[in-house]
């Protein structure tokens, strides 16, 4: 692929936009406000970022071996990296604002660590962004829309790699939206 395809550029842009949003989210945010919770059991800004890093890495651990095999077998790109009909619906359930109907408890394996420091959670998230970009660069030439991988949380469901990438971008937007709400509430609570 001599020139990057527009669908790959759009995915890169989505991850870049999410990273910019996360950097703006933590800019000037104190450790106290970054780890503040509205109530017991709710998540802080740091926990939102920690959850995203864990979720990104869980998906990548499941997607990478499948992508490597597809690359080795010559499963070349035949079309754009976009989800199919069911995949598009699944991606839409992650988009903000969070709708009560689609609010689920995070799987245990990607729940945030207990009270992670803000700077560490942000660094973990930014590191996972680099891993996503490396995956996208490394596998942009395979047929992301037809190569399937098992969902890392419900293995009976299989998604295309394209759906997985779009899920990750939407999931990031969802929890960054949530984290901004938490930051705003923390700043209101801190006012005299």
pLDDT in tens, 29-81: 999 999 999 999 899 999 999 999 999 999 999 999 999 999 999 999 999 99
| 99 DSSP 8-state letter | P
Angle at 58 between CA 181 and CA 156, to 5 degrees: 110
pLDDT at 3: 65
Does the pLDDT at position 102 exceed 70? no
How many angstroms separate the CA atoms of 138 and 155, rounded? 24
pLDDT at 105: 80
Give the H or E element holding residue 160: strand 158-160
CATH class for domain 6-190? mainly alpha
158, β-bridge pairs: 150
Length of the chain: 192
- Band the pLDDT of 108: cuts 50, 70, 90: confident
pLDDT at 1: 43
Helix axes 6-26, 45-72, angle to 10 degrees: 160
User: How far, CA to CA in Å, does 56 sit from each of 16, 33, 129, 156, 168?
Assistant: 14, 24, 8, 19, 6
| 73 DSSP 8-state letter | T
Contacts of residue 142, Cβ cutoff 8 Å, sequence gap at least 6 = 67, 70, 71, 75, 76, 77, 161
């Amino acid at each position: 692929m001599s020139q990057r395809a527009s669908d790959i550029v759009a995915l890169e842009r989505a991850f870049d936009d999410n990273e910019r949003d996360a950097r703006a989210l933590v800019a000037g945010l104190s450790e106290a406000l970054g780890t503040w919770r509205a109530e017991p059991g709710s998540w802080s800004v740091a926990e939102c970022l920690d959850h995203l890093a864990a979720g990104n890495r869980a998906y990548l651990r499941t997607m990478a071996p499948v992508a490597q095999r597809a690359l080795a077998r010559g499963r070349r790109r035949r079309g754009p990296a976009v989800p199919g009909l069911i995949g598009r619906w699944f991606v839409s359930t992650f988009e903000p604002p969070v709708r009560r109907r689609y609010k689920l408890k995070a799987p245990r394996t990607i729940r945030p660590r207990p009270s992670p420091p803000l700077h560490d959670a942000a660094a973990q998230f930014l590191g996972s962004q680099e891993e996503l970009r490396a995956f996208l660069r490394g596998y942009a030439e395979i047929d992301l829309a037809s190569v399937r991988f098992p969902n890392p949380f419900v293995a009976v469901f299989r998604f295309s790699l394209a759906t997985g990438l779009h899920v990750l971008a939407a999931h990031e937007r969802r929890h960054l939206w949530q984290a901004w709400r938490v930051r705003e509430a923390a700043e209101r609570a801190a006012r005299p």
